Amino acid sequence: MARKIINECHLLPFDLGVRMESMNDMGASSDMLDPGIEVFFDSAPPLKDDISIKRKVKEFIELNSSSSNIHAGNKTVRRIVCVTSGGTTVPLEQRCVRFIDNLSSGHRGAASTEYFVKAGYAVIFLHRRGSCQPYCSTLPEYPFLECFELTGESSVQVHQSHAEVVKRALKSHHSAVERGQLLKLPFTTTFDYLQMLQLIALSMKSLGPLGSFYFAAAVSDFYVPWESMAEHKIQSASGPLDLRLAQVPKMLKVIRDEWAPMAFCISFKLETDTSILLEKANMALRKYDMHAVVANELLTRKEQVTIVTREGSTTVRRGETESDSEVEKPLVKLIVDMHSDYIEESTRIGCEKA
Amino acid sequence: MARKIINECHLLPFDLGVRMESMNDMGASSDMLDPGIEVFFDSAPPLKDDISIKRKVKEFIELNSSSSNIHAGNKTVRRIVCVTSGGTTVPLEQRCVRFIDNLSSGHRGAASTEYFVKAGYAVIFLHRRGSCQPYCSTLPEYPFLECFELTGESSVQVHQSHAEVVKRALKSHHSAVERGQLLKLPFTTTFDYLQMLQLIALSMKSLGPLGSFYFAAAVSDFYVPWESMAEHKIQSASGPLDLRLAQVPKMLKVIRDEWAPMAFCISFKLETDTSILLEKANMALRKYDMHAVVANELLTRKEQVTIVTREGSTTVRRGETESDSEVEKPLVKLIVDMHSDYIEESTRIGCEKA
C-alpha cells in the first residue's frame, strides 16, 4: 500500500492542475539540450500520431490529477508513474527490413504496472508493441488459442484448466481501465520511444514530485543516424556486413535537468557479468541523478534485484507462496515507500520555502 | 482445392511410409556439405529439445502419410508442406541481450497455412516464437484483452463486436488441430531455425514429391559466428560499436541437392526496390533450384505478389470482397495447382522408369 500523504501543504510547491501552457508548448527549448541529444532528435523520423498521443496523455493526467480523484478526507492524491517496458529497436535501413533489438520481453514492466495500480497509482504504460501486457503474465503463451474453446456451434467457453487465471486477468485489467488508472502507449523504434518519452515527461512536469518514472524498458545504447542509413534493404551478395553504430545519448539526465526535474526517477541496470553490476548501477545513479537504480543480473533477474540508492543498497527476493512469487511485488513496494518519503521531503522543503 | 492424383502408380517412385532408418539418421553426411554450411552448423549452439522436436515431426509425418489418411477410393493422399514463417534473430552476444532481427510479422506464413489446410495439406508451421498465428489475423492486436469480458463475478463472454471473428478463429483452429493437419514448432534464432529446418527436411525426404517447402520466413543473411561472439553484454561506454557479420550460407540449395531433393520448393524474395525485384527473384530461382520464387515488394506485399517460375511469371492480387481480401488465397491456390502438376509429372517419370 502507498503511504498516505498527511501533510496539509502538499499542494503548495507544485500545481496539481495540468498547466495548459506547458502542455501546449511541449518542445524543450533546443538550446538547453546537449549536442548529442540535439543530433539524435534532429536525425529522428517524425513521430507518427504525435497529436493523438499528446491528447491521450494530457487527458489521462487531467483525469488523474483533477479534484474528483483527490479524496480530501484522506488527503490522498493519485500519483502518476510512467512505466517504460520492453526493448526499443534500432532500424538498420530507412525502409526498415532489418533492425537491432534486445531480449527484453517486457515482463518486468508489465508485472510492475500491476503492483503500481494496486498501490493506487495511475500508470502510463509506455511499452514495446507486442511485448508482455499487464495482467497477462500467468496466461499461456497464446492465450486466445489456448484458453478458449467453442462449445457446439456458437458458444465460447474458457477451458476449465485456465478458468481461474483467465477470470482474474480479465477482472483486474478491466477494473484498472475502468478506474482510469491505465493508459497503454506502444512504441517500436528507439526514435519513437525517446520522442514519446519527451512528450510524456514534459506533460508530467506539472505534477512535481507526484510524478514518477520507472525506466524498465531496455533502450538500445546504439543507433544508426537516419541520414547515414541505407534507404533500401542492404544487399547480402557483397560479402560480410560492416556496421558502425553511434551511441544513443542518455536521456535520463535531461529528464532530471529539464523535462520533469521534480519527478521521482528509477532506472534499471541489466548485466550478464555480476562482477561489474553494482559498480555500474552506482555509476548510473550518480551520472544520471536517479533516485534509485535497480540492478539485475540476466540469469537471476526473476528471483532477486538490488535497489541501489545514495544511502545504500537493498536486495529484494521473490517469496515462496503463489501470492509472493513475483520479485516485482517487494520491488514496487519499496519504490512506492521511497516515493512517499520523497514526496514528503519535497513538500516539507516546499513549505519551508513558502 | 488441391487436384486429386488419379494416377494409380503414384506410390511407386517414392515411399509414403516413413523410412525409419532415415528418421534415425538425421545428420546429413557432413562431407557432402559446402564449407560455409559446415562452419555454420559447427559454430551453432546445439538445438535444445531436439529429441522432442524430432519425435513430434516423425509422429506428424507418420500420422499424415499412414494408410488411414489415404482414401483409396478417391486416390487422394495428404500432402505435407513445411511453412516457415516470421523472422530469425541473430544474437550479437552469447548470453544474448542484443540481437539483429527483421520486420517480418509472420502474417504471410500464418495466412498461407490456413489456405494450405483448407486445400487438404498437413502443415508443419515452423514459426518465430510470438509471431502471427494461423486463424488469428482478423483478431485485434491483443485478442485476449480486447475480445472477452467478465460478466458478473464468474462468467466470461465474447464482446458482441468480436463474436463472429472469435468463433470463426476458434472453430477453424480447433478443427485443423483435431484432424491432425497442423503442427506448430517455434524458433527464435537463425541457429535454431536452420537446425530445425534440416531436421524437418531430412524427415520429409521419404515423402518424395508429396512433400513441400514454402519458405515464407525471413531468414537473416548475416550472422555472428558463435565463437567470435562476445560472451557478455557489449559495453556502451567505449564509443561507437563496430560489428562485422558473416554471411549465412544459403541452405535452400542443400535442401534441393541433399536433404529432400524431391520436395516441391517455393522461396520468397522481398525487396524495397522494385527495379531489382524480379531480376533477384529470377536469380534465386536458378541459383537455389527452386520450383517457384514469390517476389514481393515491401509496400505492396499485402496487395499483390508475382510468382516467378522457369516458364514465366504470374502476378496475383487480392480481391475486393471479404472472402477474397487476402493475397495468400490466390497465391496458395496457384502453388497448390503447380504442386499437383509437379506430383503428376514426378509420378509419370517414376512410372516410366519403373
Q: What is the pLDDT of residues A303-340, one digit of tens each?
A: 999 999 999 999 999 998 888 899 999 999 999 999 99
Q: Mean pLDDT highest for which of A11-20, A63-72, B128-137, B140-149?
A: B128-137
- Residue B176, judged by CB atoms within 10 A of its CB (0-12, 13-18, 19+), counts as buried
CB contact under 8 A, A143 and B147: no
> How far A191 CA sits from the closest chain B CA (Å)?
16
Listed in sequence order, the residues at least 6 apart from A126 whose beta carbon sits closer than 8 Å to its beta carbon are: A82, A83, A84, A85, A185, A187, A193, A196, A197, A200, A217
CA-CA distance, B307 to B330, in Å (whole number)? Answer: 11
pLDDT for position A233: 67
Q: Which of A237, A224, A287 is nearest to A257 (CA)?
A: A287
pLDDT of residue B350: 83
Q: Which residue of B has its CA nearest to A154?
A: B167
The arithmetic mean of pLDDT across residues B58-65, rounded, is 94
How many percent of chain B have pLDDT more than 70?
83
Contact B236 A221 (CB under 8 A): yes
Looking at residue A219, its pLDDT comes to 93
Q: Average pLDDT, stretch B192-208?
A: 96
Asked if residue B132 lies in contact with residue B86, where contact means CB atoms within 8 angstroms, the answer is yes
Distance, C-alpha B23 to centroid of its chain:
20
CB burial of residue A175 (10 Å; 0-12, 13-18, 19+)? middle
Q: Is the pLDDT of residue B3 over 50?
A: no
pLDDT at A7 over 60: no
Give residue-wise pLDDT tens across range B216-273: 999 998 888 877 777 666 666 667 777 778 888 889 999 999 999 999 999 999 888 8
Residues A227, B341: Cα–Cα separation, whole Å: 49
pLDDT band of residue B114 (cuts 50, 70, 90) is: very high
DSSP 8-state class, residue B189? B
Q: Report the run of H or E that residue A268 belongs to, with start and end.
A: strand A264-271
How much is the average pLDDT of B141-168? 84
Mean pLDDT across the stretch B301-327? 93
Q: Which of A306, A295, A237 is nearest to A271 (CA)?
A: A295
Which residues of B are less than 8 Å from A140 in CB distance? none
A50 CB burial (10 A radius; 0-12, 13-18, 19+)? middle
Report CA-CA distances (Å) from B338 to B212, B276, B345.
Answer: 11, 25, 10
What pLDDT, on a 0 to 100 scale, did the predictor assign at position B76?
54
pLDDT at B217: 96
Instruction: Kindly indicate the confidence band of residue B55, based on its pLDDT and cuts at 50, 70 and 90.
Output: very high
> Among B243, B249, B220, B248, which Cα is nearest to B92's?
B243
Angle at alpha carbon of residue A213, lines to A209 and A215, rounded to 5°: 160
**Residue A30 pLDDT greater than 50, yes or no:** no
Reported as a single tens digit per residue, the pLDDT across A286-304 is 999 999 999 999 889 999 9
How many residue pairs bridge chain A and chain B with CB atoms within 8 Å of each other?
Answer: 164
> For residue A343, what is its C-alpha cell?
514526496
Note the ipTM here. Answer: 0.74
* Beta-carbon separation of A145 and B139 below 8 A: no
Q: What whole-number percentage of chain A has pLDDT above 90?
A: 54
Q: Evaluate whether B127 touches B142 at the Cβ level (below 8 Å).
A: no
pLDDT at B68: 52
Residue-wise pLDDT tens digits, A102-127:
888 999 999 999 999 999 999 999 99
Q: In this structure, how many other beta carbons lie within 10 angstroms of the beta carbon of residue A25? A: 11
- The predicted model gives A58-65 an average pLDDT of 94
pLDDT exceeds 90 at position A172: yes
Alpha carbon distances (Å) from A317 to A1, A304, A305, A331, B262: 18, 4, 7, 8, 56
**pLDDT for position B18:** 28
Average pLDDT of every residue of chain A: 84
Minimal Cβ distance to A232: which of B133, B245, B273: B273
DSSP state of A206: G
At residue A19, the pLDDT reads 27
pLDDT of residue A232: 67
Do the beta carbons of residue B280 and residue A105 sit within 8 Å? no
Amino acid present at B235: Q
Distance from the A169 Cα atom to the nearest Cα atom in chain B, whole angstroms: 9
Q: What whole-number distance in Å separates Cα of residue B200 and Cα of residue B195? A: 9
pLDDT at A236: 64
- Return the residue of A nearest to B91 by Cα: A102
Residue closest to A169 by CA, chosen among A111, A120, A84, A123 = A111
Q: Which pLDDT band, with edges at 50, 70 and 90, does A245 fall under?
A: confident
Q: What pTM was estimated for this model as a whole?
A: 0.80
Distance from the A143 Cα atom to the nearest Cα atom in chain B, whole angstroms: 6
